Amino acid sequence: MLKTDIVIIGAGPVGLFAIFELGLLNLKCHVIDSLEQIGGQCSELYPEKPIFDIPSQVKINGNELVENLINQSKPFDPVFHLGQQANQIKKLEDGYWEVQTSANKIIKTKCIVIAAGAGSFVPRKPPLENLKEYEEKSIFYSIKDKSIFNNKKVLIAGGGDSALDWAINLSSSCDVTLLHRRKEFRASPDSVKKFFELESIGKTKFALGQLLSIQGKNGKIESITYKNEMEEITNNYQYLIPLFGLIMKLGPIVDWGLELDSNLIRVNTENFETSIPSIFAIGDINTYPGKLKLILSGFHEAALMSQKAFKYCNPEKKLIFRYTTSSKDLHKKLGLK
Amino acid sequence: MSKIIVKDRDGKEHILNAEKGLTLMEIIRDSGLDIEALCGGCAACATCHVYIGSKWIDKLPKMQDDEESMLDQTFDLKPGSRLACQIEFIDDYNDIFMELAPK
């Protein structure tokens, strides 16, 4: 079992800055995030879009901000658990929390800091009837073992890089059709070119339209109907791979017994603690009178939260407030000589 | 004051005060109607999808690439599908009609 001072849920900008603020107070952090990469919305939604309201940064894009925050947190050796969700928490008799992830990792921690933004990123699911019945049987949002599609009829829906890349990849082993609402793609031109080269020699098929319904039974797809401006078309397929990107959902956190206000976590503004002692919420996921969903508000919240988290982790110790400009102790922690 | 008319997912129509310079998403969100607008208006999430009334479609500015690309990631598209965050209200749009797309 892993043991730490703090588990941070969410590796977005606010979670990353919390590592730094907690680190200055000697608190060690483990960070859980559902994405495979660090950075949250900044990396996933707007990596290239400029942000203009980060103090002292006249203009910075999502990726640059995340990179800077990662560098800033480095002296404190955070441990990242990526590609997994924080599923369950349990209060132990010795006062610690036990956090269990979707990858079955168990982390024992003194405090939990929820910096989960708008929730975890999950695949965007098409609004089809009886979708659940087919999921993980003949509908897959990601591909772990592509051999299951060998010699089958597969419909990939979507118009981004992953849809095109998988259509190209599967073209050698199965009968693959790519369904997209228009002939333009938001994908690398090379992939688009390659896909249509394969289509021209009959290795892949392209269909214009949007998903409408699935027919089948016991989780097995028999046919899929899609429509475009001209007509509705039903064809036989055995598998559907919808690739419409990711969307954020709050997930298991709603069942943890925290006081919520329309899916946001209520906190006090003194230390951003939730209704459950030693669980904090910072950044876009919290709410309080006057809350502004700005990255800079999350940074401020991280600093104040850290003061209270220190007290939980060191009930006997007195916390002396110091500045990074002058404190030799802080310089040492930051790896300066 | 200019107005916009928004039909919610239960079919009820709401007349909202519209101010020049706000986006349609902001007008809808600030009225308390249920529009998610997760990314806050940077055409990165497609959770402010609306159907613009047919007679208004051609009066609006054309979609930029990033709006069209985000529509690729959403469902239930119709000819009037737009992202409300990408349309800034001007007085010419007084009485424009739109419907919230399903979640």
CATH number of the domain bearing residue A203: 3.50.50.60
* Average pLDDT of the residues in A142-151: 93
Measure in Å the smallest separation between the Cα of B44 and chain A Cα atoms: 6
Note whether A163 and A253 are same-domain residues.
Answer: no
Tell me which residue of A301, A314, A334 sits closest to A18, measured CA to CA: A301
Q: Whole-angstrom Cα distance, residue B75 to residue A244? A: 9
**The domain boundary residue, chosen from A244, A267, A292:** A244
* pLDDT value at residue A108: 98
Note whether A214 and A269 are same-domain residues.
Answer: no
For residue B65, the enclosing domain spans 2-100
Asked whether residue A337 carries a pLDDT value surpassing 80, the answer given is: no
**The domain boundary residue, chosen from A189, A214, A244:** A244
Note whether A7 and A69 are same-domain residues.
Answer: yes
Note whether A114 and A257 are same-domain residues.
Answer: yes
For residue A222, the enclosing domain spans 125-244
Edge-to-edge strand ranges of the sheet holding A260-261: A260-261, A264-266, A286-287
Which residues neighbour B62 within 8 Å (Cβ) at sequence distance 6 or greater? none
Interface of B with A (CB under 8 A): 38-40, 42, 44-45, 47, 65, 68-69, 71-77, 102
A18 neighbors A302 (Cβ within 8 angstroms): yes
Which residues neighbour A220 within 8 Å (Cβ) at sequence distance 6 or greater? A134, A137, A138, A238
**The domain boundary residue, chosen from A244, A261, A276:** A244
Q: Which of A48, A51, A63, A124 to mutate to test the interface with B (most CBs of B within 10 A)?
A: A124
User: Which amino acid makes up residue A185?
Assistant: F
Contacts of A160 in chain B (CB under 8 A): 72-73
Phi, psi of A266 (to 5 degrees): -75, 135
Task: Render pLDDT for A313-333 as a digit per residue (tens, 0 to 9).
Answer: 999 999 989 999 999 989 999
Task: Render pLDDT for A25-71 as a digit per residue (tens, 0 to 9).
Answer: 999 999 999 999 999 999 988 898 899 999 999 999 999 999 999 99
Phi, psi of B24 (to 5 degrees): -60, -40
Report helix, strand or coil for B1: coil
Q: Whole-angstrom Cα distance, residue A224 to residue A155? A: 8
* Average pLDDT of the residues in A90-102: 97
Note whether A113 and A8 are same-domain residues.
Answer: yes
Q: Which of A124, A127, A186 is facing B69, going by the closest CB pair?
A: A186
Task: Render pLDDT for B19-46 as a digit per residue (tens, 0 to 9).
Answer: 999 999 999 999 999 999 888 888 888 9
Q: Whole-angstrom Cα distance, residue A38 to residue A310? A: 25
Nearest residue in chain B measured CA to CA from A213 = B76
Number of domains in chain A: 2
Note whether A178 and A79 are same-domain residues.
Answer: no
Task: Render pLDDT for A284-317 as a digit per residue (tens, 0 to 9).
Answer: 999 999 999 999 999 999 999 999 999 999 999 9
Q: Which of B9, B30, B38, B77 to mutate to test the interface with A (most CBs of A within 10 A)?
A: B38
Pairing of strands A204-208, A175-180: parallel
How far does chain A reach from its first CA to its final CA, in angstroms? 34
* Average pLDDT of the residues in A96-105: 97
Band (A149; pLDDT cuts 50, 70, 90): very high
